[in-house]
Amino acid sequence: MTAGIAYADVEVGTELPAASFPVTRATLVRYAGASGDFNPIHWNERFAREVGLPDVIAHGMFTMAEAVRVVTDWAGDPAAVVEYGVRFTKPVVVPDDDTGALIEVTGKVAARLDDEARTVRVDLTARSAGQKVLGMARAVVRLA
């Protein structure tokens, strides 16, 4: 697979389609099993509160992965992402109910980096419960 977006068709300021990702306690259990990260702050409300958290929180790497889906869906190929990094600024608090939490992600092309390599930098904004949960969320993407 290769990126479905042509470098020539992308300008600085191009907005990527926004997406929202629901997170429930069941989601966290499945992620813990897949990742091997069974830290009790991700599943045990009592423990999470004892260490100063408001409730159980989503795994940081899970949050990071959900956010980059906006980029991979837009590019059309996960392998188009050649670099990706974030700072974790706030946790995604996941209440024990049928609704859980919602991670809302927007993105925009912030820079055209290299004409020869056809790379752009996409800046992402990820929010949950009105709070920015990732800072400096940036992906370098190689386009067609």
Give a yes or no: residue 116 inside a domain: yes
CATH number of the domain at 127, please.
3.10.129.10
Question: pLDDT tens digit string along 82-121?
Answer: 999 999 999 999 999 999 999 999 999 999 999 999 999 9
Give a yes or no: residue 2 inside a domain: no
Question: What's this model's pTM, rounded to 2 decimal places?
Answer: 0.94
- With beta carbons less than 8 A apart as the criterion, state whether 23 and 102 touch: yes
Per-residue pLDDT at 3 exceeds 90: no
Number of domains the chain is built from: 1
Question: pLDDT tens digit string along 23-72?
Answer: 999 999 999 999 999 999 999 999 999 999 999 999 999 999 999 999 99
Residue 15: which domain range?
7-142
